Structure 1
Amino acid sequence: MWADGLVEVTAEAELRELLGSPTPRDAGKVRRSLHEHDRQWLAASPFCVISTAAADGTCDASPKGDPAGFTLVLDDTTIVVPERPGNRRTDGFRNVLSNPHVGLLYVIPGRGDTLRVNGRARIVRDAPFFDRLVVNGHRPPVALLVEIEEVFYHCSKSFLRSALWKPESWEPQAAPSRARIAKSLERPDEALEDLEQYYGPRYGDRLYG
């Protein structure tokens, strides 16, 4: 590990000296249950990132996306996130089995602020509400049920700094294509042409199959 000249922060007091303390308003904005504004946000959000950590500290952050409103609100303190076909690594799910604490970050395209939800999760394989999780004929094999402990909004500064929603700042070709990444790191025995076809325009046809 590179460490030449590294000056590490090792105490909260030192961290506060460097970054300061939150205002009373920011420190007190955490709530224990959903407000109607939160319900409207979840109904409009098509994307979230779920962060988990195993009992040994192993971490994962997994993106989840579906049509807007894919997160089902059961009540003011309980939400459900359906699982869709993916790479089957189950990193986050395996973390939840040993440590139920999760953090979710909900995004609405074009909005700089985000909704943050922290709580305790359970992996559910069936329940009466699963019929409400069907999309394009796909009924999820499992879902993540989250009992909310904290919910609050985060300001837009990071999105403004990054210009994330400004198309004129986008450079999708700045990094190798998904096909080239797969060829180099994951599927070296497959032809690049085949991978380009696999990850091409028809890739979206297999989202739920």
Structure 2
Amino acid sequence: MTTEAELREIVEEPPQNIWDKDIARIDEHARTIIAHSPFVLLATSNSEGTCDVSPRGDPAGSVLVLNDHQLVLADRPGNHRVDSFRNVLDNPHVALLFIVPGMNETLRVNGRAALVSDAPFFDDLTVQGRRPRLALLVDVEELYMHCAKAFLRSSLWKPETWPDRKTLPTLGRIAKDHLGIKKMSVAAIDETLALDAEKNLY
């Protein structure tokens, strides 16, 4: 399959109201969802099309809505790869997916982003006394709600469907195998990672 025409032979055109749901602005309902979302996925790509999706988590209400067409996400300590930010410097187009715990619908935002190292709103991005060094300013070009089907199919919010965490490898086990670490035990790696997560959140 190489053309949209071929695709539409299988998936019919949606009704017009599906296209019309893109309001291209941050209205009161979008503001409410953003204010209650502690977790957002940030999608970026470089100019060659290499993509990245990065999870962003903060206390609910930490994403600032500046006006009907702009919002801001603070950067928090991570692995220093800055994949998202390197992509934005190369290609400003971004996509955001805001998730609210227990809510099956999500808010989708597409737009253009700029990386900023200081601005008057940085004080409002402070969490636990830590002011971020960087933030992502997003100009909203598309904004719409996404239906609940994916969350319903996955039973994401139903703990009874979750796997027993003990049946899954720890990050220390994965890191030891992926990186070929010889001189540290899995337990020691897990302890180091847990300490870093606890001490370097902000």
Partner of 1:197: 191
Q: Quick one: structure 1 residues 38 and 183, their matched pair in 2 at CA, closer, same or farther if it must change by over 3 Å?
A: same
3-state SS of paired residue (2:136): strand
Measure how far apart 1:73 and its partner are: 0.6
Q: 1:143 aligns with which of 114, 131, 135?
A: 135
TM-score by length of 2: 0.94
* Pair 1:161 & 2:153 matched: yes
CA distance in 2, matches of 1:75, 1:165: 31
CA distance in 2, matches of 1:87, 1:203: 11
3-state SS of paired residue (1:81): strand
Q: Deviations over 1:153-209 (max 9, x none)?
A: 000100000111000000134431111111111361322121122244x55522435
CA distance in 2, matches of 1:187, 1:122: 37
Partner of 2:173: 180
Amino acid aligned to 1:26: I
Q: How many residues align?
A: 200
Unpaired runs of 5+ residues, structure 2, are none
Q: Deviations over 1:123-146 (max 9, x none)?
A: 000001100000012111100000
Q: Is the 8 A contact 1:136 1:208 kept in 2?
A: no
3-state SS of paired residue (1:150): strand
CA distance in 2, matches of 1:124, 1:199: 29
CA distance in 1, matches of 2:191, 2:180: 14
Amino acid aligned to 1:97: L
Q: 1:70 aligns with which of 62, 71, 77?
A: 62
CA distance in 2, matches of 1:174, 1:22: 41
Amino acid aligned to 1:196: D
Q: Deviations over 1:83-118 (max 9, x none)?
A: 000001111110111110000000001111000000
CA distance in 1, matches of 2:167, 2:147: 28
Q: Which runs of 4+ in 1 moved over 2 A?
A: 172-175, 202-205
CA distance in 1, matches of 2:90, 2:197: 33
Q: Percent identity?
A: 48
Partner of 1:32: 24
Unpaired runs of 5+ residues, structure 1, are 1-8
3-state SS of paired residue (2:31): helix
CA distance in 1, matches of 2:155, 2:49: 32
